Structure 1
Amino acid sequence: MSASSSAAAATTTVTSPSIVFLLRRNSGDPALAWRLFKHLSSSFPSSALSASSVSAISGILARSGMLAELHHLRHLILRHPSPSSSSSLAALARSSSHFYNSLIRSSLRLGRPDLVQILYRDLLLSGATPNVQTLNLLMLSLCNSGHLDDALKVLDKMPQKGSQPNEFSFGILIRGYCRAGRADQALEVLNRMGRQGCTRNLVVYNTLIAGFCREGKLPEAESLVERMREDGLFPNVVTFNARISALCKAGRVLQAHKILRDMKEGGGDFALPRPNQITYNLVLGGFCKEGLVEESGVLVEEMRRDGFFTQLESYNIWLSGLLRNRRLFEATKLLEQMTMDGLEPSLHSYNIVIDGLCKQGMVSSARSVMNLMRERGIFPDVVAYTSLLHGYCLKGMVKSANWILHEMVINGCFPNAFTCNILLHSLWKEGRVWEAEMLLKKMNEKGYGFDIVSCNIVIDGLCRHGKLDKAIEIVNGMWLHGTAAFGELGNAFLGLVDDRNDSMKCFPDLFTYSILINGLCKAGRLDEAKKKMIEMLGKKITPDVVIYDTFIHGFCKHGKISSAFKVLRDMEKKGFQPSTKAYNLLIWGLGMKNKIDDMHNLIDEMHKKGVNPDSTTYNNLIQALCEGGMVGRAASLFDEMLKRGILPKLASFSLLIKAFCKEGEFDAAQGIFQTGLATFGEKESLYCLFSDELCRYGKVVEAKELFEISLARGFIVENFSYRCLIEELCKVNRVADAHCLLIAMMSRGSLLDPAAFMPVIDALGKDGKKFDADKLSERMMDMAARQDDESYNEVSHPLRHVIGSKTRVHGDEGTRKDEWHAVLNRYVTNIPPNNKSPPLPRKYEGDTKSLFIRNPS
């Protein structure tokens, strides 16, 4: 309906109900409804500006987010009073809380909490009475802005204003406290609900349970679940998902998986809710985070069977987990599988791959994936380029990282301040000050400015390079001159900053002081660090848990355990709940002093105060026990760790296996190894660890057998100390076994260290097996040629490149190259006089060809 035709219709019927009908009829087109209302309000103000008409149009505008029109309506009401006092427009404004509620709700939807305060004051000045909905919206605005204490005051005053709080009032405040990490105060609000006769519902309970879970306070969450049942409520899938999420974040993924199993089976005293997509995704993410790749794979297959592995989010979680755990071949196959399943990898999927490869140091592979994206019509965004730039920075390839900035602009993807700050951090980390200055100049030219993050990067760079005094001097100057204080670094910095506008000045913040205090603590300048803490408080900057942990670490590192404990007690006095990390640092410090009993006492204190020990807590104590020769007690502690449902890290198994092997208790070490396999599955790192330790302590035959099993399982050869194993086999006259291992590894296409060949070649020569020695020498030369051939490792197809790069992850390539060149030089100088020149590397043909083909899988 057009505005003109609507107006024509309105001329015949100008009653308020008919106007409301016309407005609602055109509510699908809010702009048209607004034009109609303005026309009618000018022609028939007494009817159009009635309470019902204003309520109808304000609702339409609020739902559409038309904030400017709502403010226009407000001015229209207040500026055009009707001749009749009974229908005065000002009186209408005073009586219509619904109108103000619409304005406030629209302001919240548009993220303008500042307008909420103005509107609420305007409501009070107009004489209108706020109802419970108005006060709830005000509380929501205050909670979203972080003013929780003010929101609590609103709740306290609601009965005085004639509006009893309802379940939404309490729910808003509970949600606000939980979001701010203040679940204990949210619990007090829950208790208050019951005292004021307001019904506690499932949503409120779930919000609070999720809050406790996010803070790692699982006992409190468990007690709330029991309390729900007492109130006649039964936990639903949202409740269980919150618990599972918290367990996974705490590393207790096996316990989380058990809950998933119970939910699926539906057993127990109560009928449990069935798991949903979110439940499976949480457990899958937990498995991937903890490196339980085999278990993750089993869960993925289960999700496929149950119809829960159909969303892109699940694929992305599994993809990220594979890359995090170096399963590059499986990750590339998953990308192909996604397409086969009708799910085209999204930009986020490719970003996961690029980020994962860059974190593995495989930047050239990430570049190839980026090329593949373009071929498929997906163009890299700032996230992809930033990951690539970060990857170059991690490898110290700052020039290549700098080129990424140019490439981004050329391709129409402009870097943001975060991207530039990553490169700036890398330049300062390497002490390349001049290049950092040039980058800062470019940032200013592009309008990114010299923000507090950039300032903190420069200060961190100074601290890293031992220029603590200069960093302190600049921070002191920042309070007076803002970023102009950085001019102290050199004339070039003077042109990079402009503090004429006080609003643009950068003053030190919490992170600035964290950097300084950390640098001072590392340097042993603990008294100066304490002075900086006092300075912070004087500047109204409240220290956080990280700064307290920094002090604890600094005191423990320098042997001042009593001072570290004083920091812990001071934390508690200031209302901070000491974290698991704080206790772990103290336990680590006690371990360096070999105070075993005190370490046990501190773990008991953790349990009493509701701070959950993690694998690091137990590892610190296990390490102290092992170093003190108390391996039996360490093993008992390991059992306790498993009983408590705390998933051990690889370090836990490493400590015990090494300790038992050192004591000569190889059967006990074998038991720990088998426990590791039962916990993690057939994990390569466990085989690698145990095989190397057996070899170290003379169990060469057992080490060889374990290494052969590893070969059969397709593990990466380069992760094992195979060179040491071959040398030890030759020393105990098992040359044939060493020779067979070399042949087996080459048949897999492994890129071996040529130095590993020499003990076998020497031993074969001494045994008079010249033909075998020469044959092996030729293969050694071939292997050396392969390592020299850089093109062998750069395969054009991105998926092949990912597979082929697995063998180049470990070790310093430059060091290894120098090492095997020395071996080859030794081989050449030992050539018998009748040989005029060393044998040339053979081409990959005939029988030899199969030795250099990569693993077919």
Structure 2
Amino acid sequence: MDPTAKLTKALLFNASEPKVAWQLFKRILSLPAGEHFPVAVDTITRILIRAKMMNELDELHQRLLQHSTLPLHILHPCLTSSIAVSANSGLSGNTLSHFKAFRSRFPDNPPSVHLYNCLVRSCIKAGSGDHVAWLYKDMKVAGIAPETYTINILIGFLCDSGRLEEAYQLFDKMPDKGCKPNEFTYGILVRGYCRAGDSCRGLQLLSEMKSRGFAPNKVVYNTLISAFCKEGKNDDAEKLVERMKEEGLCPDIVTFNSRISALCDAGKTLEACRIFRDMQIDKDLGLPTPTIITYNLMLKGFCKGGQLKDAESLFEIMKSDSSLLNIESYNIWLSGLIRNRRILEARLVLKEMIDIGIKPNVYSYNIVMDGLCKNGMLSDARALTSVMTSNGILPDAVTYSTLLNGFCSRGKVLQANSVLHNMMQSGCFPTPYTCNILLHSLWKEDKTSEAEKLLQKMHERGYGVDTVTCNIILDGLCNHGKLDKAIEIVNDMWTHGSAALGNLGNSFIGLIDDRDSVKKCVPDLISYSIIISGLCKADRVDEAKRKFLEMMGKHLQPDSAIYDTFIRCFCKEGKLSAAFRVLKDMEKRGCSKTIHTFNSLILGLGRKNQIFEMHGLIDEMSEKGISPDVYTYNNLLSCLCEGGRAKDAPLVLEEMLQKGISPNISSFRTLITAFCKATDINAAHEVFEISLDVCGHKEALYSLMFNELVSGGLVAEAGELFESALDRSFDVSNFLYKDLFERLCKDDKLEDAKALLNKLIEKGYGFDPAGLMPVIEGLRKRGNTGEAEELSERMMEMISEDNVENRNGQHRMGFMFGSRNKDGANDWQSLIQRDDGSGVTLKVLKRLQKGWGRGSLLGKRPQEDASIF
């Protein structure tokens, strides 16, 4: 038997021992090449790739290129086959370097178009656009004519990169290159235009496709139908469905599911629901029967659109038929409940799943975990990990990252560290993302030494330092007033990568792997966003402009967020013309206006008291499908109130409520202050009562109204409100209660002052001892020296206690809370007792329409919603 054949057989036998196989192949190289040599090369290439022996793979190609005895007709296909195997395995970087070496070795013997196709696909998957362009140029140099398949790959790549004009130019020149477009070419282009929001151009291609003799398939039609639905062109979508039928293509379940999915994604759930209903009741028309996928799409649409009652009704129908319900259905319903802050119900759904035999998966628990953490219910969130384990579901990296992020977002770094420790103990090793969450929290808390230790641990785990990590550090520096240091690091990152962190003056430089730093840690768009935002906040706008130009010079295209930073800065400075110039450049570069763009411009116009223009922008927002938020309306309210037009504010408030936008405390603060300033106390009372319905009984609202009443001399009303605040155990540090005591005593209402003072003491409040002085003086003037002396002694005791605490190094807050949740309290129970204004009804709107300051205060409060929020 040929020695090469024997060794090749041994090579295959030792495929599970890559090092042994490599030694065998080197023995094959030393023998005269037999007919089995190409098989040996293909085999060893696959073995080395599977074993991730990249150095040996490089050596293999070097040995083949330098082989002096192998004839060209054997060596050439061996090299191209090995390169193709590497390309198909996703090793684009290594493969391209091998290919370039091959092209240099055999400039007059180019590879086949098949190899170019393999390499182009590999580079596209790796996101290496520059390499794709180089390969296409090299094809021209080598004189290799591209196939239709080659051009289709390139057109798809250009479409996915948003370069539609280039894609069409390439498509238009296909006949000149000796290859004709096929139905797949048209399908790729249609999909590209539809994804770019230009479905009309896609429709033109459909007509062109037919004129050239190609029959469009269902995939092309479904792509266009989905795109028209997303763009709100439902009539065009309906026409396409009819056109499909005319051409003998019966719309299938995919067609209808595509329409429903697109409409729901675009927030058009009513239109989606109409199609869904037709599928259920018009079976005689030949419409497909809804499947579990259809039901899940509709359920997701209702949940996403906040139509929870419709979602609940649909979910009950699905529960009545087991074929229409699966784990995905329950996860969608859980997400809907969590999104609408119905956390207790979500907890019950988890139990229901177990009861009916649909075992929640880790994703189910992670949905609830996210809701608990976002609502500050961290003790229950932590307990949920134990529930998961007891039910046979191990928490994963997402579970722990969510919990860790929950603690970090509230500044509880110690508890976050504990979560990280538990995560590692459970065998679920943290990801770089997990560590970056904790790192961000440490920088936010200015705990730089702890941050440094965490970076060291990240390095030990082999995570390294990437651009995300560097951006966290840059953000921390900017937030702590070290802007110049952050700029210095960004400048050095271009040449030194993450080694630029050595500029911090600590041991960060020891954490850097110089071989990878430049690749991983060059500044990105977020890096410049952080620096530009920091410069604008520091009123260093000219420097921010220079950084913007530098960023452009580095081929980093600005996004809407960076433009919004400049617009917000100019609007705050009252430079509206400059803000609108930025807006013009923003639109020129194809960056869409965001809610932040509009809010900044509305704020700027408000400071110039340009009410009409503000309303114009709000109308433009609606036209562009951007819903105004509470900050939009707060800017408008502030402008009206500061401009002396508080009487128009109720209409704005009514509009907010009608659109489902809940006013916040800031909204009501603006209105209450404005009405009190205009001495319209009745109107202020009306707003205050409504604010309690909308926002709940919040200390900020009580203190605001109380202080305005005291300032306005309405001491009786102020006293009643203060007593109510004490009954609710509010922190009264922001209440002007000393002024109230003085006014009560001055108005000869000493008994009222004494009653409030005694209530403060009885409920265990600590307070400024000076608050006793007006009452003591009032008692003395009345001749009640005994009571005056008792209060004087009490005041001296409080001063003495205050001095003792100060000597012990304790900071006396001056005011104690009444009944507060302690750590470890049951979050579910506290949530049930919350009153956060879920009972707002249209009765409020009717009162708003009647005007302000007429009639009595709000009477009976509306019934609270059955839900917990």
The answer to whether the 8 A contact 1:322-1:330 is kept is yes
The match for 1:497 is 512
Shift of 1:669: 6.6
- Aligned position for 2:456: 441
Query: Which residue, 241, 256, 259 being the options, matches 2:269?
Result: 256
Contact 1:452 1:507 in 2 (8 A): yes
Q: Per-residue displacement from partner, 1:734-769 (whole Å, max 9, x unpaired)?
A: x9xx9xxx9xxxxxxxxx98769xxxxxxxxxxxxx
Question: What secondary structure does 2:337 align onto?
Answer: helix
Q: CA deviation at 1:458?
A: 0.5
Aligned to 1:648: 661
Identity %: 43
Map of 1:225 onto structure 2: 237
- The aligned residue for residue 171 of structure 2 is 155
The unaligned stretches of length 5 or more in structure 1 are 1-44, 46-67, 69-74, 81-96, 248-254, 678-682, 704-716, 743-751, 757-783, 796-800, 812-854
| 1:550 paired to 2:550 | no
SS at match of 2:561: helix
Q: C-alpha deviations, 1:162-195, integer Å up to 9, x for none?
A: 554344322212334555xx323x6434324324
Q: Which amino acid aligns with 2:369?
A: I
Secondary structure (helix, strand or coil) at the match of 1:575 reads: coil
* 1:391 CA drift (Å): 1.8
CA 1:691–1:631: 2 relative to 1, 3 Å: same
Aligned-residue offset at 1:338: 1.0
Q: Is the 8 A contact 1:390 1:401 kept in 2?
A: yes
Given candidates 577, 581, 596, the residue that maps to 1:581 is: 596
Matched, 1:188 2:201: yes
- Which residue matches 2:360? 345
Q: Does 1:241 align with 2:261?
A: yes
Out of 597, 605, 608, the residue aligned to residue 590 of structure 1 is 605
Equivalent-residue separation in structure 2 for 1:590 and 1:238 (angstroms) = 42
* Candidates 418, 426, 433, aligned match of 2:441: 426
8 Å Cα contact 2:259-2:272 kept in structure 1: no
Deviation at 1:423, TM superposition (A): 0.9
Shift, 1:624, TM fit: 3.5
Q: Is the 8 A contact 1:719 1:810 kept in 2?
A: no
Deviation readout 1:693-737 (Å, 9 max, x if unpaired): 99879999999xxxxxxxxxxxxx99999x99xxx9xx99xx9xx
Match of 1:168 in 2: 184
Residue 151 of structure 1: CA displacement? 3.7
Give deviations 1:506-536, integer Å, cap 9, x for gaps.
Answer: 2211110011011112222211111110111
Q: Note closer, same or farther for the CA distance 1:432–1:303 as it changes in structure 2 (3 Å cut).
A: same
Asked whether the equivalents of residues 100 and 119 of structure 1 are also in contact (C-alpha less than 8 Å), the reply is no
Aligned-pair distance for 1:559? Answer: 2.4
Change (3 A) 1:420 1:287: same
CA 1:808–1:856: 2 relative to 1, 3 Å: closer
Provide closer, same or farther for how the CA distance between residues 125 and 229 of structure 1 changes in structure 2, counting only shifts above 3 A. Answer: same
The Cα of 1:448 is off from its aligned counterpart by: 0.6
1:460-503: CA deviation from partner (whole Å, max 9, x where unpaired): 00001111111111111222322222111113122122325565
Name the structure 2 match of 1:572: 587
Tell whether the 8 Å contact from 2:576 to 2:605 is kept in structure 1 after alignment. Answer: yes
Give 2:486's aligned residue. Answer: 471
Contact 1:552–1:567 under 8 Å retained in 2: yes
Q: What's the counterpart of residue 378 of structure 1?
A: 393
The C-alpha deviation readout for 1:311-366, integer Å capped at 9, x for no partner, is 22232233234344443332221111111222111111112222222222222222
The number of aligned residues is 645
TM-score by length of 1: 0.61
Q: Contact (CA 8 Å) 1:287, 1:296: kept in 2 or not?
A: yes
CA contact (8 A) 1:178 1:207 kept: yes
**Contact 1:143–1:176 at 8 Å: present in 2 too?**
yes
Q: 1:244 to 1:355 in 2, by over 3 A?
A: closer
Cα distance in 2, alignment partners of residues 470 and 661 from structure 1: 47
Aligned partner of 1:481 in structure 2 is: 496
Q: For residues 292 and 665 of structure 1, do their structure 2 counterparts lie closer, same or farther at Cα, with a shift above 3 Å needed?
A: farther
Q: Does 1:803 align with 2:815?
A: no
Mapped partners of 2:123, 2:648: distance in 1:
59
Question: What letter matches 1:566 in structure 2?
Answer: R
In 2, distance between residues paired with 1:539 and 1:694? 51
Return 462-471 or 615-624, whichever deviates more.
615-624
Tell me: CA distance 1:601–1:504, structure 2 relative to 1, closer, same or farther (3 Å).
Answer: closer
Q: Which amino acid aligns with 1:239?
A: R
Matched, 1:522 2:542: no
Question: 1:614 — aligned with what?
Answer: 628
Shift in Å, 1:416: 1.1
Asked if 1:397 corresponds to 2:409, the answer is: no
Inter-partner Cα distance in structure 2 for 1:389 and 1:222: 44
Task: Tell me whether 391-400 or 261-270 shows the greater mean CA deviation.
Answer: 261-270
Asked which structure has the greater RCO (Cα within 8 Å, sep 6+), the reply is 1
- Kept after mapping to 1: 8 A contact 2:152/2:184: yes
Amino acid at match of 1:397: K
The 2-side partners of 1:788 and 1:113 are apart by 54
Q: Judging changes above 3 Å, is the alpha-carbon distance between structure 1 residues 665 and 161 closer, same or farther for their aligned structure 2 residues?
A: farther
SS of aligned partner of 1:495: helix
Higher mean C-alpha displacement, 683-692 vs 412-421: 683-692
Give the secondary structure class of the aligned counterpart of 2:484: helix
- Encode CA deviations 1:578-624: one digit per residue, 9 max, x unaligned: 3343223211221233210111233455567x454434555643553
Asked whether the equivalents of residues 579 and 611 of structure 1 are also in contact (C-alpha less than 8 Å), the reply is no
CA shift, 1:228, in A, is: 3.1
| SS of 1:448 mapped into structure 2 | coil
- Look up the SS of the partner of 2:266 in the other structure: helix
1:204-223 correspondence runs (5 A): 204=220, 206-208=222-224, 210=226, 218-219=231-232, 221-222=233-234
Compared with structure 1, are the counterparts of its residues 294 and 588 closer, same or farther at alpha carbon in structure 2 (3 Å cutoff)? farther
TM-score (norm. length: structure 2):
0.61
Provide structure 2 residue ranges, at least 5 long, that are not aligned to the other structure: 1-34, 36-56, 58-72, 79-110, 246-250, 719-727, 767-815, 837-866
Residue 456 of structure 1 contacts residue 511 of structure 1 at CA under 8 Å; is this kept in 2? yes
- 2:433 and 2:550 mapped to 1: Cα distance? 29
> How far off its partner does 1:424 sit?
0.8
Q: Structure 1 CA distance, aligned partners of 2:698 and 2:221?
A: 47
Residue identity matched to 1:804: Q
User: How far apart, in 2, do the equivalents of 1:202 and 1:554 lie?
Assistant: 50
Give how far 1:632 is off.
6.3
| Per-residue Cα deviation, 1:520-579 (whole angstroms, up to 9, x for no partner) | 122222111111101111222111111111111122223222211111011122233333
611 and 411 in structure 1: CA distance in 2 versus 1, 3 angstrom threshold = closer
Instruction: Tell me the residue number matched to 1:14.
Output: none
Cα displacement (A) at 1:454 = 0.8
Supply the distance in 2 between the matched residues of 1:563 and 1:109 (Cα, whole angstroms): 43
> Quick one: which amino acid aligns to residue 831 of structure 2?
K
Q: Partner letter of residue 550 of structure 1?
A: T
* Structure-2 separation of matches of 1:310 and 1:269: 23
- For the aligned residue pairs, the C-alpha RMSD in angstroms reads 5.8
Provide the C-alpha distance between the structure 2 equivalents of 1:325 and 1:401, rounded to a whole number of angstroms.
26
SS at match of 2:277: helix
SS at match of 1:236: helix
